[in-house]
Amino acid sequence: MTTKSVILIDFDNLFLTLWQLDRETARRFASDPFRWMAHLAESHLALDRRRWLVARCYLNPSGWVQLPEAGERLYFSRFRPDLVRAGFEVIDCPPMTYTGKNAADIRIVIDALDLLASSCDYEEFVIGSGDSDFAPLLHRLRAQDRRITIISPGYASPAYTSLADRIIGFEGIESILWPEPEQPTESVTPPDATHDAFAAFIRKRYDESTEPLNLSTLSQEALRVVSGARDSDWFGAGSFTRAVRLLNLPNVRLSQHLLWDEVRHAAPPTSETTVGDGSIPEPVMTLVRLLDLPRLRQEDWQPLFAILARYAAEFSFNLTESTRWSSDMLAEDGISVPRMAVSFVVRGAQFGGAPLDGATPPTARQIGEAFRDGLIERANAAGIVLDATAERVISAWFGLSQPEPAPQSNDAAG
């Protein structure tokens, strides 16, 4: 069986976001769409494999990015032949305003509504964009009982992503663009038995554990035993945690980072009330709940910023390698920071103005401040009210000083 799918890609949105995060991944996304389209047809599935009945890419032909190594421009039109060869219908969306804004989002909405009203009963719409302006469209698609998959490598609004059945973030895009080569070993399980092997491994670790298990560590262990689990999007569950939940382990409890048996294990301190020796302040908990801020101990934030600054100073940037190396180096110092948490901070620094691949490597302070400022900006965009006191509390939580307020004019003084 196959799923009748539509894929609509806002090229500028995806490419520019990927370019900020990892230039090589962005290049591969744009120059080899045939490979990732074929891979996506078989992976990150809700049910059956996909058949692309409609594939459209909305592209600004005059769009470009600066090539740092050559000082030249890389124009998006360069990738048109690759997209056409991959089976995309390329829709030119030139700038409509002096700021460079094009009409790709409007074209996508109109085309999606036309397809929804057509005689063909499309079962799934794959939207390649992190733009929350598409939320009304997703409401309409969901009301018509269509499955929705969002491809978004950056930070997308929870109000937008909550409407989708499946989210393919940066890690998912990376796994599609850079699939690991098959390396047959004794630990690799045949494809027809992968889920059984996964279930058996998790149950064994769960039954033998004498304390709560770290979910990030457990997922990496599972991937070494069942190599294809991530390619199948954790057997259609969408995440490792959801795949574990579906196993219905006895007396199981899960938090964001831990898995434990509430009968055999002492429950860990709840992240909502305690991290390390102190309570999480309410402004920080607001960011945890609404923006998925990682629930790290307060004392771990400064070492994390410092290790990222060290990586930027010593290595050529690669997002995957930066998260792996940083997490491993912190672990050697007895600091447990999952790779997903490291990735969250790296993305915040990249988008916030302290990219690890900048011409001058950022300092730990610059990384921390860019990350904090980006969080506050995202909170404001989501309608979360943070007054000056809340911002001071957030800054203190990250071990940062509060920025000096802008000087006020004395003209109004009496």
Residue 149 has pLDDT above 70, yes or no: yes
Percent of the chain with pLDDT strictly greater than 70: 87
Task: Examine the pLDDT at 246 and tell me if it is beyond 90.
Answer: no
What pTM was estimated for this model as a whole? 0.71
What's the mean pLDDT in 14-42?
Answer: 93
Over 90: is that where the pLDDT of 32 sits? yes
What string of H, E and C letters represents the secondary structure of 195-234?
HHHHHHHHHHHHHHCCCCEEHHHHHHHHHHHCCCCCCCCC
- Average pLDDT (49-53) is 95
Say what the pLDDT of residue 407 is. Answer: 53
Least confident of 1-5, 185-189, 278-282, 346-350: 185-189
Number of Cβ within a 10 Å radius of residue 365 = 16
Task: Report the pLDDT value the prediction gives residue 97, as an integer from 0 to 100.
Answer: 73
Which carries the bigger pLDDT value, residue 242 or residue 310? 310
Of 125, 27, 14, nearest to 82 by C-alpha is 27
Give the pLDDT of residue 257: 67
Q: How confident is the model at residue 155 (pLDDT cuts 50, 70, 90)?
A: confident
* pLDDT score for 185: 44
Tell me the average pLDDT across 354-381: 93
Range from 92-106, 279-293, 316-330, 383-397 carrying the lowest mean pLDDT: 92-106
For residues 18 and 173, give the distance between their C-alpha atoms in angstroms, rounded to a whole number. 10
Greatest alpha-carbon pair distance for the chain in Å reads 82
Q: Which of 32-36, 149-153, 208-212 has the lowest mean pLDDT?
A: 208-212
Mean pLDDT across the chain: 86
Average pLDDT over residues 139-161: 92
Q: What is the DSSP string of 60-114?
A: -TT-EEEETTTTEEEEGGGGHHHHHHTT-EEEE--B-STT--BSHHHHHHHHHHH
* Structure confidence at residue 48 as a pLDDT band (50, 70, 90): confident
Tokens read off for 400: 């940062």
Are 227 and 189 contacting, i.e. CB atoms less than 8 angstroms apart? yes
Please work out, in degrees rounded to the nearest 5, the angle formed at the alpha carbon of residue 296 by the alpha carbons of 275 and 328: 130
Q: Give residue-wise pLDDT tens across range 134-146.
A: 999 999 999 999 9
pLDDT: which is higher, 277 or 25:
25
Reported confidence tier of residue 319, pLDDT bands at 50, 70, 90: confident
Torsion sign, CA atoms 241, 245, 251, 254: positive
Residue with token string 């090229």: 11
Q: Give the sign of the dihedral formed by CA 189, CA 35, CA 8, CA 5.
A: negative
Q: Burial, 242: exposed, middle or buried (Cβ in 10 Å; 0-12, 13-18, 19+)?
A: middle
Report the pLDDT value the prediction gives residue 101, as an integer from 0 to 100: 80
Q: What is the mean pLDDT of residues 350-362?
A: 92
Beta bridge partners of 151: 128, 168
The confidence score (pLDDT) of residue 211 equals 86
Per-residue model confidence (pLDDT) at position 324: 87
Least confident of 124-133, 151-160, 182-191: 182-191
Taking the C-alpha atoms of residue 252 and residue 359, their distance in angstroms, rounded to an integer, is 48
Percent of the chain past pLDDT 90, that is, above it, reads 52
Dihedral sign for Cα 187, 190, 193, 195, please: positive
Least confident of 6-20, 220-234, 328-342, 381-395: 220-234
pLDDT at res. 238: 65
Tokens of 190: 């045949």
The residue among 321 and 71 whose pLDDT is bigger is: 321
